[in-house]
Amino acid sequence: MATAPELDAKSALDDFRAEARAWLAANFPASLKGKDNSLSALEGPHDATEDETAWTRAMGEKGWGVPSWPAAYGGGGLDRQQVRVLQEEMGRIGAWNPIGGMGVMMFGPTLLEYGSEEQKLEHIPSIAKSEVRWCQGYSEPGAGSDLASLQTFAEDMVDHYIVNGQKTWTSGGQWADKCFALVRTDKSQKHAGISFLLIDMTAPGVEVKPIRMISGQSPFCETFFTNVKVPKGNLVGQEGQGWAIGTRLLQHERNSLSGGSGAARMFAGKALGQLAKEYRGANDDGKVSDSDLRMRIVKHEMDQRAFMLTLRRAAMEAKSNQGPSAATSIMKNVGARLTQDRAELSVEIMGMAGLGWEGEGFSETELTQTRTWLWGKAVSIYGGSTEIQNNVIAKRILGMLDHQ
């Protein structure tokens, strides 16, 4: 029999469900049902419709774009159960979260842990309302997997820094307003000489050059800093603390890439079974005619569902343990494999129709699939390559040590 406190908690949660349902009914435009455009925050800007703009504004003002972030900084201030209820109610009507991007995925959660009160008040509300785009300044031409070898240098000028150097693979750099970057403030120490700095992308001396990928898109940039002046107040934490802050941020990134937006992209589009019936045909029982292909589709969908359930469990554990753990490396690797497997299966199902680049002989869906397949080659590299994640798993989860 339920106790009085349990009954009170259930009643309060029921009240919140009713509140969420009423608010969503009043604010979510019916025209946007099922038209999830949340990934646009991770890609380039687009011409938002009037309804998209209104929905983004409403979610931002309510704080429900980042529902678990503190209300004092523009978040929803909801607890774990309330967040789950909100997600259930949004799913019930086909609503989606329009607030995203690197500010939500990586920088915001990290700043909430390491930032000063002034920095939180300055930056978190604009992230919560999707008013500012952030990009990540980590990798350099000579510092990829060995990120700690970075050489971008921030020279101490008493009341500000002067930053010189180059970053590469800066996702969304050409559209970003601000950049969270790892820079060197001490050349005599490798890891302990790194600091975490916030840089205005519109500041004099910042230059970006988009990098065109094999998929035809240019989501990444080379970013150059030439005598860029950065206020001392833009230093997060202390000098030399950048490596600890930066690696914590990467855990948030991997958590987002393996779940959230990564999963949304991974499983977007038609179900593989439906696609196979369209391109390969169905037998008299209405099943995919190719029995071997049918078996591989079933196996992939089983793996996908098991992965999504594991992500849900990991998300619950992360909230109870004060943030993501090294287990995000496992999720990142599994998510990357599933993404690539799905793309390969889709191309195989479509045959030659899934290999088109341009021309009237291909539908828009087929051309998109080709680019999706090519884009998928990057998922086992960005956010930390599969090999790097294997090292993290071996050392931090399995307790295996390097043998010299």
Cα–Cα distance measured from residue 261 to residue 256, given in angstroms and rounded to the nearest whole number:
6
How far lies 400's CA from each of 110, 147, 387, 390, in Å? 28, 22, 15, 11
Query: What pairs with residue 195 in β-bridges?
Result: 183
Q: Are 203 and 158 in contact (CB under 8 A)?
A: no
Length of the chain: 404
Collapse the DSSP code of 369 into the 3-class scheme (helix H, G, I; strand E, B; otherwise coil) and give the result: helix
Nearby residues of 374 by Cβ (< 8 Å), 6 or more positions away: 213, 214, 215, 216
Establish whether 253 is a catalytic residue: yes
Q: Are 88 and 14 in contact (CB under 8 A)?
A: no
Cα–Cα distance measured from residue 291 to residue 307, given in angstroms and rounded to the nearest whole number:
24
Burial class (CB in 10 A: 0-12, 13-18, 19+), 57: middle
Collapse the DSSP code of 338 into the 3-class scheme (helix H, G, I; strand E, B; otherwise coil) and give the result: helix
Q: Which one, of 258, 250, 278, lies nearest residue 182 by Cα?
A: 250
Burial class (CB in 10 A: 0-12, 13-18, 19+), 45: exposed
Put residue 178 in one of left, alpha, beta given phi > 0 → left and psi -120 to 50 → alpha: beta
Q: Are 218 and 210 in contact (CB under 8 A)?
A: yes
> Residues 52, 89, 253, 366: which is the catalytic one?
253
Cα–Cα distance measured from residue 258 to residue 255, given in angstroms and rounded to the nearest whole number:
5
Q: Which one, of 182, 75, 177, lies nearest residue 134 by Cα?
A: 177
Hey, which residues are catalytic here?
253
